[in-house]
Amino acid sequence: MKLSELAANKHGTVKSLGRDEHFLNRISSVGITEGAVFQVVKNDRKMPMLIYVRETLLALNRKDCEKIEVSEVRV
């Protein structure tokens, strides 16, 4: 599933980040890498998505969230 499909307060693990080299460099520099565990803080449509990953709160635009494949983790 895509990151943008997870609801607020859900936890997940990053499975895949795609193949775009520029995107990979940019997204990994803020702590989002394959295997990273995160929590969705806010997922309001038409707004940036807020996630908590590696002790950091990040705002991601919708276009980037569509490129990140995740799996939901039950806590």
Q: Whole-prediction pTM value?
A: 0.90
Whose CA is closest to 2, among 54, 58, 51?
51
For residue 66, what is the enclosing H or E element?
helix 62-67
Q: Are 23 and 64 in contact (CB under 8 A)?
A: yes
Query: DSSP 3-state assignment of 41?
Result: strand
Q: Are 15 and 71 in contact (CB under 8 A)?
A: yes
Please report which confidence band the pLDDT of residue 70 belongs to, taking 50, 70 and 90 as the band edges.
Answer: very high
**pLDDT score at 19:** 85
Please report which confidence band the pLDDT of residue 40 belongs to, taking 50, 70 and 90 as the band edges.
Answer: very high
Structural domains of the chain sorted by starting position, each given as residue range(s) with its CATH number in brackets: 3-73 (2.30.30.90)
Our measurement of the distance from residue 9's CA atom to the centroid of its chain's CA atoms, rounded to an integer in Å, reads 13
> What average pLDDT score do residues 24-47 get?
94
